[in-house]
Amino acid sequence: MSEIVYGLHAVEVLLKRNSEAVEVLYVQSNRHDQRAHKLVKLAQSKDIPISQKSREELDEMTDQRHQGVIALSRQSKQKQFHEKHIPEILDAIDEPPFVLILDGVTDPHNLGACLRSADAAGVHMVIAPKDNAVGITDVVRKVACGAAESVPFVPVTNLARTMKQLQERNVWIAGTAGEAEQDIYQANLTGGLAIVMGAEGDGMRRLTRENCDFLIKIPMAGEVSSLNVSVATGVTLFEAVRQRTNSLKPA
């Protein structure tokens, strides 16, 4: 049984990490940009067949935003990441690390949506506690739309210890809390960064909060005091993306 993986980032990750499962790479026929060319060269280096398709033909394969590239892949068991893989993942990054920490998210729909936002924002890995939190399930995979396979999801036994491990690698940790003094638009979210999102309802646990370098909040203008964790994750991640992108532009 085969499945499709679409989008430039998701397909690139699949080709790099699990190329033996890829049956064919479909590329939009009028895409000649550098990113598409990079994927074609990567597929060719791994002897993966490449097929040119029109935009309309790709649209028929999925109603999602495919960005002109779709890989047909044999379903295979997702690689399981463990705490021991964290240094390895960090070592492979050639830019400031961008990490998402989910402190006890229990709803698989929320986890799937968070993973999807993480993939779209270019997050390098998602970390969550093993206990009292949802892991990767079929529901998570469906909601994530391929992001569960493209973004390393690392369950850990001791979140506070893992946070300290990140800090030792020059990764600053920003925790989200309604009582924070600075909002996401005032805070510096560039450089090595891990953003912590709390659980549905209760937010971050006390020990998690104490191990953050600083706290941030999303300014709320309406009567509702908080956002769903997956929505809040998307808003916060993409403010970080905006800042990080602008920081790379020449003055």
Residues making up the binding site for S-adenosyl-L-methionine: 198, 218, 227
- Residue pair 149/10 in contact (Cβ under 8 Å)? The answer is yes
Secondary structure (DSSP) of 60-116: HH-SS--TTEEEEEE--PPPPP-GGGHHHHHHT-SS--EEEEEES---HHHHHHHHH
Cα–Cα distance measured from residue 73 to residue 48, given in angstroms and rounded to the nearest whole number:
11
Check the CA dihedral 61-62-67-69 and report its sign. Answer: negative
Cα–Cα distance measured from residue 194 to residue 102, given in angstroms and rounded to the nearest whole number:
10
Annotated binding site: 198, 218, 227
Residue showing tokens 């994927």: 39
